[in-house]
Amino acid sequence: MQHLPILPILLPMLAGVLMLLPPLTNTINRHRVFAVSVMTALVVVSAMLLLSSHQQGTQMYVLGGWQPPFGIVLVADRLSTMMVLLTSLLGLGAQLYACAGDDKGGMYFHPLFMFQIMGVNGAFLTGDIFNLFVFFEVLLIASYALLIHGGGKQKTKANVHYVILNLVGSSIFLFALGILYGTIGSLNIADMAVKVRLLGEHEQALAKAGGLLLLVVFGLKAALLPLHFWLPKTYAAASAPVAALFAIMTKVGIYSILRVHTVIFGEDAGALASIAIPWLWPLALLTLVIGAVGVLASPNLRLTVANLVIISVGTLMVAIAMQRESATSAALYYMIHTTLVSGALFLLADLISKQRGKAEDRYVVARKMKRGTLIGIAFFIAALTVVGMPPLSGFVGKTLLLQATQGMAEIAWVWPTILIAGLASLIAISRAGTTIFWRHAGESAIDEPISPLKIIAIAILLAASPLLVIFGGPITEFTNLAAAQLHDTTQSVDALLQGGMNNEN
């Protein structure tokens, strides 16, 4: 139990390395068994870590015995462990789907998948902004290779754009780190939150510039307007399991904004308090609008789902802009919902594409799918969930978010924008369902068998929606506590600098 906080990083890292060495190397069946076993173990470890942080408080893992703010530290609190468990569940579903044959498109799929999981988990657990940059680079390098997995013109084109944009983002990230370290003298998140209050007037201007540069970087990762244009084509071009895993990628950017601009530049930052909020409000609402336009204009299901991800980004950014515990709690609940249902929809889009033959997932008249009943039921559940229809989790998440706006002047903007985006989603998904499942011509398409692994993978991700409602009481209680912990500096700052539950490597 002492080393539990580092296991979500060590397990996928060691698994990825071992799959590059004999006897596992170049043996796809061994890769599959080993990778699924590791991901299952990672889900168990992540659940244990979440329970431990919930019951015993924040756990701090200090590598090398160097106490903060000088050493590398991992912080396992309610928020970070929730995100790690979410990543593990999504990763397990995506990997099971890949094991049905999608992993044969190129070499080293499973090792790269593990390194991607390692980078994402590291980004969620780190307590230091420089190490956040390091884990960003780990997950990005793995994502470059995963995106082009299987080859093809569309993937290559999308990958070039994706790589160039993220290299620019990484450069800006380093500039921001240099500015913040030069002015504040630390990159430990908790230590920065204390020192930022003590800055002089000249240092405040530089620190503000550094903080806003970080907002640009994280906004690029999160696909916040106007830095969103890379996402639809990139996600639509990726193979199904990769696109499903990428559903967590935007959440890394959102999580980073939540950490930096709530803890460091939050309400207790003195003259630098809430520096991102004047920018977040218009950008979040406009992201919702552009996402709504995107889903209505999408010519196929993959692009529709990708634009639904943009709508979810805008919704989450609105919650962050509120700077309220209730809004943050609602955002955390909604984040769990949207991540898993988006992953399931990317997998469903691939199933539909293979069943419809040459028509793929385009909104055109095509031959009837021979296995359309099972896929149709899954699509119906996913559609109800993603558009926010009662009684599933999308409805609960949006209701909690709308309730959090009570008493705010911005309620006149937030309610219409979220509801109109929801209406656009409903129209787009309805069009997708009616075109794909009801508009037929000619004989049935070729009978393409569906692997049981694919059904299991989709079922795992879709099961989250009813479970989020059935266990809504304990889950919302947890998100309330996680939000309170994040907003309370005595828990998110002071406790960490005083040692917390300190574990040393």
pLDDT at 444: 61
| Residue that the structure tokens 């385009």 belong to | 362
For 324-327, the CB contacts below 8 A with 24+ separation are 324/404, 325/480, 325/483, 325/484, 325/487, 326/400, 326/403, 326/404, 326/483, 327/401, 327/404, 327/405
Give a yes or no: residue 138 inside a domain: no
* Helix (H), strand (E) at residue 382: helix 372-387
pLDDT at 505: 44
Give a yes or no: residue 352 inside a domain: yes
Residue numbers in the chain where pLDDT is lower than 50: 500-505
pLDDT at 30: 84
Alpha-carbon distance 211 to 157, whole Å? 32
Q: Are the C-beta atoms of 59 and 487 separated by less than 8 Å?
A: no
Examine residue 226 and say whether the peptide bond preceding it is cis (omega within 30 degrees of 0): yes
Alpha-carbon distance 494 to 57, whole Å? 13
Nearest-5° Cα angle at 39, 90 to 346? 25
pLDDT at 78: 93
Strand pairing report for 73-76 and 501-504: unpaired
pLDDT at 92: 94
- Domains of the chain: total: 1
Expressed as residue numbers, the domain containing 404 is: 276-470
HEC assignment per residue over 80-130: HHHHHHHHHHHHHHHHHHHCCCHHHHCCCHHHHHHHHHHHHHHHHHECEHH
Q: What's at 368, amino acid-wise?
A: K
| pTM confidence score | 0.93
pLDDT at 112: 92
- What are φ and ψ of residue 317, in 5° steps? -65, -35
Residue pLDDT, tens place only, 329-369:
999 999 999 999 999 999 999 988 888 778 788 888 877 77
pLDDT at 504: 44
Give a yes or no: residue 415 inside a domain: yes
Alpha-carbon distance 343 to 244, whole Å? 4
Residue pLDDT, tens place only, 241-291:
999 999 999 999 999 999 999 888 888 888 888 898 899 999 999 999 999
Cβ-based neighbour number of residue 441 at 10 Å: 10
Alpha-carbon distance 61 to 11, whole Å? 16
